[in-house]
Structure 1
Amino acid sequence: MWHLLALGCLFFPCLFILIQRSLQKNFPKLTDEDTVNISVRFVSSVQGFMAAFAGFIITSSCKHVMKDRHWISTDYVVFAAPYMAYDIYAMYLCHWFKHKAKDSNGLKTSSTNIVIDFLKKNFLIVLHHLTLLLICFPIVVYYRKGLGDFFLGCLFLAELSTPFVSFAKILKRFRKQNTLLYKVNGVILLATFFLCRILVFPYMYWAYGKQYGIPAHLVPFRIPLHCTFGNAMLMTPQVYWLSLIIGKAGKTVKVE
């Protein structure tokens, strides 16, 4: 297990550095802020595709939603755990470069104020990452006793929308919001986010009910309360982020 954790600690930061240096070498006109942002989004996309692929393998292999096991389940959690810590720092780095660009125009901001501003603007996503790292990680690795790999795979599938989120932000950075590519990506983003981050939760209840012959609407009352509470905690920010995506899409349509 420790070798996978160490591999994850090396993989994500090294991939970020590799992409950043490649951009600096091949696209010298890009600013430091641009190269950092694009590199961060690229790493997020890679992690998203990897997690979704792992989720597909797990869910398609586990016929029994509770008892069937797949080795990728725990191994990928261990490997990807460092990504949560890396991504918090990567988001802060993007935020820092944004303030650095303002400083170059004569607006000085102290380091403490930058940190506070970062936490205010990214509180929910930072809390989400810390929850996954400090609470979900030990539960998955140590306390679930090998049960529920299928459901873990379903949660991995939620990351399928991440590459499209990242691509949208890259296109926006280069002011490509009015292009057909941006609009097509937006449609795919909205569809994958809704399917993989919202509908995946009722789907898991339906799958459990089908396995044990329980109507889906009764499943929340037949499973431990902490399971439903945990799902609610994970789903709540997804609903909020979906509302933001829909709001942005609505603004784009009104502009047109």
Structure 2
Amino acid sequence: MLQVLACGVVVFPGLFFAFRRILPSIFKQWTDADVVLVSERLVSSIHAVMATTVGCIVVASCRGNVVNDRHWLAPYFVIWYGVPYMAYDLYAMYLSHYYRFQVKGHEDYKRHSLRTVNSFVRKEFLLVLHHIALLTVLLPVTLFFRKDQGDFFVGCLFLTELSTPFVSLGKILIQLSLQDCRLHKANGGMVLLTFFACRIALFPYMYWMYGRHHGIPLYGVPFHLSLAANLGNCCILAPQVYWFVLLCRKGFRLYQRSRCRGDAPSPTRSATAAVTDNTKGE
């Protein structure tokens, strides 16, 4: 019973509901859209801290033999927390989208309908596709197709969540009108660093570790892996590269625009604003 109560099916919606109750009593001027957005970001950060912690434990435990070493947290976290979180987050993202447009006075958003759901899917297609792919690919691969191998690499994938708390913090600071503080500028640097290191550079690192285990050079690893493994990694990596390019381009534009107005902020500050518009982190 305690295990059921502690699993992600209960924990993440429960936290989301609690934040939606608590935040309006603290920030009375906030709209429903503000409350839902910050609640979603807080829950995302909590999940990210959990996933990163589990990833560090699994990676540290399986470094000796990256293919055959096992750790019980690798499949357990995916089943009990990863999959429930992805399903919950789709719903939370839809609510955030719904209330954001409702506050703006859109006629279609007076009530929930298939039209509002369709609008959400079209506007957030890449994020929705990313979540659905993890639900339909990550779970069966973790449970059935790995042949009890590769816990190290599952742990590495958990580490991709490291950037999420910084992305969420940037959005929350903007929500609190603290975008001019030093914390926001420093957070922008952490967004760039963690996003690149844990969502892009992590994939060459996993290939290098695999090659070291088998005694083959990095450039030969793709030819040693199956086509399905390479395609799966590309499908996960591609949107990360796309989001990172968007954040860099938009951050640069914001920085240039501010310089033209005679108010040149730190590039990292502009990057934080950009990333909170373009991605959630994972």
Q: TM-score, normalised by structure 1?
A: 0.93
Match of 1:185 in 2: 187
Match of 1:146 in 2: 148
Q: 1:249 & 1:172 partners in 2: Cα distance?
A: 15
C-alpha spacing 1:4/1:158, structure 2 compared with 1 (3 Å): farther
Three-state SS of the structure 2 residue aligned to 1:169 is helix
Q: 1:166 & 1:135 partners in 2: Cα distance?
A: 26
Judge conservation of contact 1:154–1:204 (CA < 8 Å) in 2.
yes
Match of 2:79 in 1: 78
Q: TM-score, normalised by structure 2?
A: 0.85
Instruction: Give the counterpart of 1:230 among 223, 229, 232.
Output: 232
Bigger mean CA deviation after superposition, 120-129 or 6-15: 6-15
Instruction: Give the counterpart of 1:131 among 130, 133, 143.
Output: 133
Match of 2:246 in 1: 244
Three-state SS of the structure 1 residue aligned to 2:65 is coil
* Structure 1 unaligned spans of 5+: none
Kindly state the Cα deviation for residue 4 of structure 1 after the two structures are TM-superposed: 5.8
**Following superposition of structure 1 onto structure 2, how do residues 94-173 of structure 1 map, counting pairs within 5 Å?**
94-103=96-105, 107-109=106-108, 111-173=113-175
Three-state SS of the structure 1 residue aligned to 2:108 is coil
Q: 1:203 & 1:152 partners in 2: Cα distance?
A: 13
C-alpha spacing 1:246/1:5, structure 2 compared with 1 (3 Å): farther
Match of 1:68 in 2: 69
Match of 1:34 in 2: 34
Q: 1:233 & 1:251 partners in 2: Cα distance?
A: 28
Kindly state the Cα deviation for residue 125 of structure 1 after the two structures are TM-superposed: 0.7
Q: 2:187 & 2:207 partners in 1: Cα distance?
A: 30
One-letter code aligned to 2:23? L
C-alpha spacing 1:4/1:223, structure 2 compared with 1 (3 Å): farther
Aligned residues: 251
Judge conservation of contact 1:67–1:147 (CA < 8 Å) in 2.
yes
C-alpha spacing 1:204/1:5, structure 2 compared with 1 (3 Å): farther
* Structure 2 unaligned spans of 5+: 259-263, 265-282
Percent identity over paired residues: 46
Q: 2:88 & 2:101 partners in 1: Cα distance?
A: 20
Kindly state the Cα deviation for residue 178 of structure 1 after the two structures are TM-superposed: 3.3
Q: Per-residue displacement from partner, 1:129-179 (whole Å, max 9, x unpaired)?
A: 011111211110122121000000110000000111111122233443333
Q: Which is bigger in relative contact order (C-alpha 8 A, separation at least 6)? A: 1
One-letter code aligned to 1:24? P
Q: 1:24 & 1:173 partners in 2: Cα distance?
A: 14
Root mean square deviation of aligned Cα: 1.6
One-letter code aligned to 1:50? M
Match of 2:43 in 1: 43
Three-state SS of the structure 1 residue aligned to 2:156 is helix
Judge conservation of contact 2:5–2:11 (CA < 8 Å) in 1.
no
Kindly state the Cα deviation for residue 206 of structure 1 after the two structures are TM-superposed: 0.4
